[in-house]
A and B are shown apart, each in its own frame.
Chain A
């Protein structure tokens, strides 16, 4: 999914949060990363609250928990809101670490080396 910056179509009104109800929230959790994919200029018609999130999540993206803290909204409503933005093609989110990654020794070692260097 990454590395396709700018290739994602904007799917305005393709889905609503109501339609997504009853499903798992598309893997969005407190530690998911969300990143803006829409051009904020082309999204002027959207609510101010959404625009604020788009502005926050530009660049390499932000953790859902961080978005929640920065907009002063609790986690669950923030996840609902982000799910709606994903459905509208305005932001994308990275899938959480899989079980396989979590027990992948090479990944863990790289992580440790990165942390040691920092």
Chain B
């Protein structure tokens, strides 16, 4: 069996995650569900209320088979507050793509914060509607207040297979650069 490589496609609601997964996946994207027990998320005091609320979250799943591996794409659920109680979401992930819509940049802040906090390498991909993007990558970098100056920012079209593939290639370049730096550091 080919090794599997897990990549996360994240971003806020309505930024094009499902579209992007569908554009590059070799299968029609699937929806995978998970049930999380929401024990006191966002609530300070639950004394006397031991009841847990179960929440169902859904992910988009797609894949790309290359000679070396199967790239598995997981479009993360829109409700980021659940990510913190879902360790399996990040476990084993090689990297992530954070999709942003520059008209609603704030919707992707949570994803950026989350991956920076968990130290998962990611690239930022700004969706261009009708090939239009009013902002430059540098302006987007500043607006997102990215901590790592090396985090790549690419402009793309979530509906175009080649364009989404380029985003994944940018992520691979980023991962290779990090691995090279790590090797230098160890020498």
> A8 within 8 Å of B by Cβ?
no
Q: Are B172 and A115 in contact (CB under 8 A)?
A: yes
Q: Are A94 and B4 in contact (CB under 8 A)?
A: yes
- A70-B30, A111-B69 known; A31-B172 Cβ under 8 A: no
Q: Give A30 to B91 CA distance when docked, in angstroms.
A: 9
Q: Give A97 to B94 CA distance when docked, in angstroms.
A: 9
Q: Are A108 and B30 in contact (CB under 8 A)?
A: no
Give the number of chain A interface residues (Cβ < 8 Å).
39
Segment from A12-20, A39-47, A59-67, A82-90 that makes contact with B: A59-67
Give B159-187 as 1s and 0s: 1 = Cβ < 8 Å from A's Cβ atoms: 00000010011001101101110110000
- A97-B92, A103-B182 known; A108-B72 Cβ under 8 A: no
Q: Are B63 and A69 in contact (CB under 8 A)?
A: no
Q: Are B4 and A60 in contact (CB under 8 A)?
A: no
Q: Are A33 and B1 in contact (CB under 8 A)?
A: yes
Q: Are A60 and B66 in contact (CB under 8 A)?
A: no
Q: Are A115 and B176 in contact (CB under 8 A)?
A: no
Q: Are B4 and A31 in contact (CB under 8 A)?
A: yes
Q: Are B92 and A110 in contact (CB under 8 A)?
A: no
Q: Are A29 and B88 in contact (CB under 8 A)?
A: yes
- A68-B32, A105-B183, A108-B172 known; A114-B1 Cβ under 8 A: no
Q: Give A75 to B168 CA distance when docked, in angstroms.
A: 25
- A69-B61, A75-B34 known; A31-B74 Cβ under 8 A: yes
What's the least CB distance linking B168 to chain A, in Å?
6
6 contacts between A and B (CB under 8 A): A65-B61, A75-B33, A103-B182, A108-B175, A109-B176, A114-B68
Given A63-B70, A65-B30, 8 additional A-B pairs, CB 8 A: A31-B6, A65-B59, A76-B35, A97-B5, A103-B179, A105-B176, A110-B68, A115-B169
